[in-house]
Chains A and B, each alone.
Chain A
């Protein structure tokens, strides 16, 4: 393998954030390899979504650094982080409700559609060409989840599971190197979850991107993640393969309690 392929997509060092006097995340050090599927798990309130917010610069870290594909993100804004290659979904779905399914995907494609104001207003050939390309690309992406036939439906009229899938498609449209999924299986039934697992693998293989996901559904996490990071109280308490995590004493203690306290 060349050096480029070995370089992690994301590497954090001593990452941390405080809210007032409270340390929400501390000493968070991870590496995500290209095309790796990594799980981020932990009890409720452990700081998982906060970590996603740090990685996407929604929160400015109090300490530490995030290297994205070899680039320092210290001075990047959330938009720049997205352009540099991180896309995400949200725990509480944040689609553009009044836009159609296809338009939501086109928002993700925005940076990759190239025509100016002038072409847009006067509808020059460039506008038609680029919009046609965007339309085809959007349908192609929607087709991964078999949603191409719902392209013209308003996003808020989709059923819950489909909205979660649309969020993934919208994030994919920004052409990320790393896709962050915040509880992608929340509210899905077991068969939908199984399908989602296949789709996450398919996305990883087809788009050759890395995926990090927060999830409470342990079947999904253990089923598709090659590597799992467990956090509690904002700190990493274990890291390893699903098998290692399942037998790790710290993890069992965090989830079930040590038994000594009660």
Chain B
């Protein structure tokens, strides 16, 4: 029971970190970046090759993944989404799905469909013993990383000038522009942060579930998107809450109901929550299109 709870929180922490990317981009650019999940996969591959091919230490590999994904996020936004800034939201959504397939297929070409086994980068770190239960280091690090990211990001958005600019752009792009805020730069920054976080999530995910394929990012991406909606899209604490709840529900579903039905349970919970509270758990009134 406790072991399942801890596993659930750990998995949920990964979802939460990914969900942050969805929720921040949605909050500021008012779009759903469905390619976000695939950025996780790219992060995983970069870390994988940094370790296995280059022989870099894990910390450097994580850094490399963050740098590449951050750049990738900025490039995706600049090339695929920026030209559509004034297009209908449906056009942007379809483009995002296109980018997602593009990344998956590019990965297929570059890295083939062979499943890679991700090394356990936290091998040397000690686990934690709670009575008879052993908690893996990756579990602890995932939860800690989630907490650190959440606190840093909250402070960043509330206390720094870039964070305030993000919130201003999220409310009224036109007024923000006329008050001297560079909206394009602010949106770029949001993508950079979201994608950098996706890289961290990618490494954590691949360490906990050590298989890596070009499609590795899509299911966690969809689940994290679900988590973001579940918690209230656009809300940072909502992404955290939604992610963790989703992780716990998934693991409990697997443990006590059925391994095969666990995903169905996750999405059923989402549907029920949205029926009762359409804005999500912590969502405020949403008057924006999808």
Contact = CB atoms under 8 A, between A and B. Distances in A.
A58 B177 CA distance: 9
B178 A107 contact: no
B159 A107 contact: no
Interface string A27-66: 0000000000000000000000000000010100000000
Interface string A72-93: 0000011100110001101000
Interface in A82-137: 82-83, 87-88, 90, 94-99, 103, 106-111, 113, 115, 117, 120-121, 123, 127, 130-131, 134
A96 B183 CA distance: 15
B161 interface: yes
A98 B167 contact: yes
B174 interface: yes
B160 A96 contact: no
A79 B177 CA distance: 5
A120 B164 contact: no
Contact of B160 (A77, A99, A108, A120): A120
B180 interface: yes
Given A120-B161, A121-B152, A131-B159, A83 B180 contact: yes
A232 interface: no
Interface string B143-178: 000000000100110011111110110011011111
A111 B167 contact: no
A90 to B, nearest CB: 7
Contacts of A117: 162, 189
Given A98-B167, A99-B171, A103-B164, A110 B159 contact: no
Contact of B179 (A77, A87, A131): A87
Contacts of B178: 56, 58, 78, 82, 87-88
Best-surrounded residue of B155, B160, B181, B189 (most CB of chain A within 10 A): B160
Interface residues of B, number: 25
Contact of B167 (A95, A99, A113): A99
Best-surrounded residue of A58, A94, A127 (most CB of chain B within 10 A): A94
A interface SS class:
helix
Contacts of A77: 177
Interface residues of A, number: 37
Contacts of B174: 58, 94
Contacts of B164: 99, 103, 106-107, 110
Nearest to A94: B175
Interface of A: 56, 58, 77-79, 82-83, 87-88, 90, 94-99, 103, 106-111, 113, 115, 117, 120-121, 123, 127, 130-131, 134, 170-171, 173-174
9 contacts: A56-B178, A107-B164, A107-B165, A107-B168, A110-B164, A110-B181, A120-B156, A123-B155, A131-B159
Interface of B: 152, 155-156, 159-165, 167-168, 171-172, 174-183, 189
